Amino acid sequence: MIIPVIMAGGSGTRLWPMSRSLYPKQFLPLVNDSTMLEDTCQRLQGLKASAPLVICGEDHRFTVAEQLREDGEKAQIILEPAGRNTAPAVALAALQAQKQSSSGDPLLLILAADHVIRDVPAFQKAVITAASFAEKGQLVTFGIVPTGPETGYGYIRTGEELSGLAHNVAEFVEKPNLATAEQYVSSGNYLWNSGMFMFKASRYLEELQSHRPEILAACEQAMAETREDVDFVRPGKDAFLACPDDSIDYAVMEKTADAVVVPMSCGWNDVGSWSALWDVSSKDDAGNALHGDVLTVATKNSYIRSDSKLVTTVGVEDLVIVESDDAIMVAHKDQVQDVKQIVAQLKAEGRSEAQLHRKVYRPWGYYDSIDCGPRFQVKRIVVKPGGKLSLQMHHHRAEHWIVVSGTAKVTKGEETFLVTENQSTYIPLGVTHRLENPGAIALEMIEVQSGSYLGEDDIVRFEDTYGRG
């Protein structure tokens, strides 16, 4: 049995302003109507695979759970207490897979949640090929057949051919300069390193014991202290924080004598930048990839994305223009790798645009910050059926709630009552309150906050359905 392990961590800073640290690219529909995480799950359909294990951080747990629920996946979600790179993350998954598998030693298919794969049958064929080698105890990586001299990827030099379907790995090499990349591609002996793997859980752990025993020891201790609630598996925090940071490549694949690479030609792209997204997008006759409300005149070879406003261009080429609800980013297509420097500036200045969109998703639904000024803020709040905000209180603000559609169940102090469409209620400063949607349709309301401080950290929670502090 194959257990897919989907790594859904990471912040995707190079795809700002669409990707933010609390809502990064793997949770966005950047290529089609499905999010990248949903696409990753969907391409597993047809393989003889169990429900996936998904690895993410605490900040993303409800987003992952909701997207998997909407996609019909019954996945288990392992919550990393902190990011420690891919080698420890996969160790946690291997230990959990051994624990829950009837065979005790399943095959693990390690995937990233944010890759584009156009040719799903070719991907699945490569996975089936890899399984035959992994069953024999070999550690398989997938090498992408190069379509050009790419300098943004690491490479794998192929060794001895195995049955015409795979090769021994001769060497992993770092990202090359252009001249070296051209030599690699022309030689025919190099593949792009995809960051996807397949191996038995036991073999990965054995190799980790041989080459990085301190990582395995920390992960074993963390899993021994695991707490589980609903779909979430929570490894012990202190033990995991003591774990070294390392990648699968450095910790295991470059050191093992049993590394095998299966070539894959499947329209793969790791979408690591806006120019990469331009590469995989449909384009008009002028080479423009246009998304949203966009009008162009004399514009060539550009990526233009509008989220909420009309965007127009005249006489430009080779640009990336991305408009989100609270930011606009303009860059030359050759310099989009440096977008992360803008994110670094935002973080240094303590600006919320590095972390959050104007629309913020919560386990109960979402809110959209419509307007704000000195001593006031206006939000549109949508609570899904059955959703329930925490029982809470604010020290510095009062709130007015106006129901636009649906029915709200309101707790205010010792009172509990219903507020229906076109009705409102007032929550004074310092009063304990809760908002719930008892109905079968979404509750939509407008919240007007007023007070001396309107930050999201002015929340004292007394009770929370979703386990937040």
The burial of 456, by beta-carbon neighbours within 10 Å (0-12 exposed, 13-18 middle, 19 or more buried), is given as exposed
Specify the pairing of strand 227-229 against strand 359-362: unpaired
pLDDT of the residue at 103? 77
The residue type of 440 is: A
pLDDT of the residue at 429? 95
pLDDT of the residue at 283? 97
Residue 405 near residue 441, CB atoms below 8 Å:
yes
Distance between CA 372 and CA 75 in Å, rounded? Answer: 39
Work out the widest C-alpha separation in the chain, in whole angstroms: 76
pLDDT of the residue at 425? 98
pLDDT of the residue at 19? 95
Distance between CA 96 and CA 231 in Å, rounded? Answer: 13
The sign of the dihedral angle between the CA atoms of 34, 296, 330, 303 is positive
The H or E element that residue 224 is part of is helix 213-224
Phi and psi at 103, nearest 5°, equal -80, -25
pLDDT of the residue at 181? 96
Tens-of-pLDDT digits for all 469 residues of the chain?
Answer: 899 999 998 888 899 999 999 899 999 999 999 999 999 999 999 998 999 999 999 889 989 998 998 777 788 999 999 999 999 999 999 999 999 887 779 999 999 999 999 999 999 999 999 999 999 999 999 999 999 999 989 999 999 999 878 999 999 999 999 999 999 999 999 999 999 999 999 999 999 999 999 999 999 999 999 998 777 999 999 999 999 999 999 999 999 999 999 999 999 999 999 999 999 999 999 999 999 999 999 999 999 999 999 999 999 999 999 999 899 999 999 999 999 999 999 999 999 899 988 888 888 999 999 999 999 999 999 999 999 999 999 999 999 999 999 999 999 999 999 999 999 999 999 999 999 999 999 999 999 999 999 988 899 999 887 766 5
pLDDT of the residue at 468? 65
- Comparing C-alpha atoms, which of 423, 456, 422, 420 is closest to residue 441? 420
**Which residue ranges form the domains of the chain, and what is each CATH number?**
2-269 (3.90.550.10), 274-342 (no CATH), 359-463 (2.60.120.10)
How many Å separate Cα 302 from the centre of its chain?
25
The sign of the dihedral angle between the CA atoms of 103, 107, 108, 111 is negative
What 312-319 contacts at long range (C-beta under 8 Å, 24+ apart), as own/partner pairs, is none
DSSP string, 269-280: E---SHHHHHHH
